[in-house]
Amino acid sequence: MEQVFQVDLRGIVDLLSHHLYGSPRVYVRELLQNAVDAITARRALESDAPAVIRIETPDITGDGSIRVHDSGIGLTESEVHTFLATIGRSAKRDELGFARHEFLGQFGIGLLSCFMIADQALVVTRSAKGGPTVRWTGYADGRFRVETVEDRGEPGTTVTLLPRSGMEQWATRATVADLTALFGGLLPFPVMVDGQSGSDSVLPWQASHPTPDVRQAALAAYAEDTFGFTPFASFDLSCAEAGLTGVAFVLPHAANPAARAGHRVYLKRMLLSENLIGLLPDWAFFIRCVVDTGELRPTASREALYEDDMLDATREALGARVRDWLVELATADPGGLARFLQVHDMGVKALALHDDDMLRLVDRWLPVETNAGRIPLAEFRRRFGSVRYTPSVEEFRQLAAVSSAQGLGLVNGGYSYLSEIVERLPAIDPDIRVARLDAAELATHFDLVDPATELALRPFLSIAQRCLDRLDCEVALRGFDPPSLGALYLLDRDTAHRAELRATREVADELWADVLGAFDTGPGPDRPQLLLNYRNPLVRRVCGLTDPGLVTTAVEALYSHALLLGQHPMRPVDSALLTKSFVGLLDWAVHDPEGKI
């Protein structure tokens, strides 16, 4: 058996008026919205009809009430019964029941916001279509009364509210004036509060100015008033499909890319939200914007936008405009782009890890440290073909000069996010070749010493190896550029990992030794290498020494110098060796009048 739902009107009114909206202040917005829509409807019938909204606060009414008058189309008695007495029924729909886009309100529930501050709402209205003046009295418990009253004269509507106890502050002149300026400050016709107008008929970004510089200064002042900051730059936004125009302001300070940016959004010039999330793509975290839209759909509370295909298309169009601005900035003002990236580089790099568009921007424009200077990655590839990088700053400092001398380009990937960005480059172009450069690979570019020469130097190399064995280091003789570099200490990550793993196995118990053995990658160099550069004149002279003690001191000095040049961490034994070799060489120099070395 079919039955009809039972509806608790008091509960419905409480639900919508107290829980749909975020704050009692929205009652001013809803009353303004109804007034604007009434004026819009009347002007559709009478193009020259008056357009004015007058608000009277208790300073004028004298009885503690607030009154909102409009010169709109008004309602007939039957329309009052139809629209004011039915929750969810709106006069702003066409004959098929679809919301008419020229109106702000669509849901037929805005008047319920009045019950957030009052227990009773009084509506006196006269239709421009003719008929008597009608008074509708609604109560917060769901009751209402409709009656005809003395003619009010001109068509239009007056809404009167008497705030309940404890809500009087929402009806004071200062509060109402502030809320009217906030919600209706950009309406295209006057909104008077106790006889004073606070609306502006021209949108700030559409106002005419004598020069572009004057316009930029005016927009900067508007951003200061609206957001509290002087923007780094500003540029226009538009999306014809959404009937959207506006202006974007670039933050002058670094922003957290994880914090979603909020924007000021107007719907048909009525404020929808001061902090709307999701209008721009997440990667545009450095932008705050003010826009007015005519086609995007609000939610029932009119405090957010409805997620649909239109909003998705608008978000994509606005994101494209932001990217276009960055390209224009790079072309017209490279110095400005450099300043922008100095401010927002960390956030830009963070988003490049997930957003291909931002990755392309970073690839093309963000300067990074390389052994060829600070240049963008795209320029680096044009010079070197592929991208080799080091995952740490220490490795870069160790290998930069040597790799440059071998004709190898090297990117310092040791700074935040940069290694991950380099590794993501093939995602935007599969032809991009990326590889990590480690010490072992670099050593393959060095020249071997002539076998006969190396054989002749075997006694020297034997003494040098015995000297370095206690430092857990291998010694080798190579020829490489630059010749000014006498020795190079090479420690790649795989070698360091194997050495640490095997050292741990030696002190672990049998069970854990077996577990760690499973991670052993097999044969390979277990120790770092000290490469002596046979192209260096000093190294050649050291190799010619025959005194074992002097060879040991010289090799220890070269080892310590290589650690310092590569900015490797110094162990206690290394620090002690540095002091010992320095003192030893000084002692040898003092006691050798010829100073041969």
Which of 252, 309, 299 is closest to 276 using CA atoms?
Answer: 299
Residue 276 has pLDDT above 60, yes or no: yes
Q: Which residue has the higher pLDDT, 248 or 400?
A: 248
Residue 103 has pLDDT above 50, yes or no: no
pLDDT score for 90: 46
Q: Cα dist. 235→76, 306, 324, 339 in Å?
A: 47, 26, 10, 17
Burial of 306 from C-beta contacts in 10 A (0-12 / 13-18 / 19+): exposed
In this prediction, residues 259-281 reach a mean pLDDT of 89
In this prediction, residues 111-120 reach a mean pLDDT of 84
Residue type, 56: E
Domain segments of the chain: what residues?
9-197, 204-332, 366-445, 447-491+528-591
Question: Domain 447-491+528-591: which CATH class?
Answer: mainly alpha
Mean pLDDT of the chain: 83
Least confident of 57-61, 149-153, 270-274: 149-153
Q: Is the peptide bond before 523 cis (omega within 30 degrees of 0)?
A: no
Which of 145, 155, 144 is closest to 73 using CA atoms?
Answer: 155
What percentage of the chain carries pLDDT values higher than 90? 36
DSSP states along 314-327: HHHHHHHHHHHHHH
CA distance 423 to 523: 28
pLDDT tens digit sequence for 492-508: 655 554 555 555 655 56
φ and ψ of 239, to 5 deg:
-155, 105
Least confident of 10-19, 359-368, 418-427, 452-461: 10-19
Q: Which residue has the higher pLDDT, 508 or 239?
A: 239
Pairing of strands 367-370, 387-390: unpaired
CA distance 588 to 185: 87
DSSP states along 202-217: S-GGG---SSHHHHHH
Residue 299 has pLDDT above 60, yes or no: yes
Which of 103, 45, 31 is closest to 73 using CA atoms?
Answer: 45
Confidence bin at 2 (pLDDT 50/70/90): low
Instruction: Report which secondary-structure segment, H or E, holds 334.
Output: helix 334-352
Residue 516 has pLDDT above 80, yes or no: no
**What are the tokens at 199?**
């609306």
CA distance 346 to 96: 53
CATH architecture of 366-445: 3-Layer(aba) Sandwich (3.40)
In this prediction, residues 408-431 reach a mean pLDDT of 92
Instruction: Please tell me the CATH code under which domain 9-197 is placed.
Output: 3.30.565.10
Least confident of 79-88, 183-192, 321-330: 79-88
Residue 217 has pLDDT above 80, yes or no: yes
Helix axes of 377-384 and 356-365: crossing angle, nearest 10 degrees:
60
In this prediction, residues 383-401 reach a mean pLDDT of 86
Residue 349 has pLDDT above 70, yes or no: yes
Q: Do domains 204-332 and 447-491+528-591 have the same CATH topology?
A: no
In this prediction, residues 169-189 reach a mean pLDDT of 92
Q: Which residue has the higher pLDDT, 246 or 514?
A: 246
Show Cβ contacts of residue 140 under 8 Å, excluding neighbours closer than 6 positions: 10, 13, 14, 17, 115, 118, 119, 120
Residue 57 has pLDDT above 90, yes or no: yes
Residue 17 has pLDDT above 70, yes or no: no
Show Cβ contacts of residue 154 under 8 Å, excluding neighbours closer than 6 positions: 50, 71, 126
Residue 122 has pLDDT above 90, yes or no: yes
Query: Does pTM top 0.75 for this prediction?
Result: no
CATH topology of domain 204-332: Ribosomal Protein S5; domain 2 (3.30.230)
One-letter-per-residue 3-state SS of 266-292: EECCEEEEEEEECCCCCCCCCEEEEEE
pLDDT score for 243: 94
